[in-house]
Amino acid sequence: MPAIDVESYYASFAQMVGFTRAGASWKYNVQSLEEVKALTEYETELKRLEQAQDVAGQYHLNRRLALGLRPVRLPSMQSIRGSGEAFAEIGSHLILDPRARTYLPQGVVTFFDDKVFRKPAE
């Protein structure tokens, strides 16, 4: 099931997954102290894990922090890099992780079902 990203650059998608306009670009909108703490830990620990070349540790940190936030808005901390990255991460998790439909916001799941995964009319 191929998916081509023709949505992530639209304001409606970016806002739905947590980005706000900051001048000419989009930035992830931090909404709570818990998110600030998670972002701080992610930046600090990611540098350490990258230096140690611990790829598995990077993956587990990425997922643990994102899924620990409530409500879960994105499937991984990597998603906050931009709306294109968020699109790719959300789409891949919806395809590969059977639990993704339970932890991602219902509006995001519905968006992907309707606009990305919908089979074209024959």
Q: Over the stretch 29-45, which tens digit does the pLDDT of each residue have?
A: 998 999 999 999 999 99
Predicted local distance difference test score (pLDDT) of residue 89: 93
Instruction: Give me the residue label for tokens 């306009």.
Output: 21
- Residues of the chain where predicted confidence (pLDDT) is lower than 70: 1-4, 6, 121-122
Q: For the chain, give every domain's residue range.
A: 32-116
28 CB-near residues (< 8 Å, 6+ apart): 18, 19, 80
Task: Provide the residue type at 33 as one letter.
Answer: L
Scored b (16 or more CB within 10 A) or e, 30-65 reads eeeeebeebbeebeebbeebeeeeeeeebeebbbeb
CA atoms within 13 A on the CB side of 72: 24
Predicted local distance difference test score (pLDDT) of residue 43: 93
- For the stretch 64-75, pLDDT in tens is 999 998 888 999
Full-model pTM: 0.85
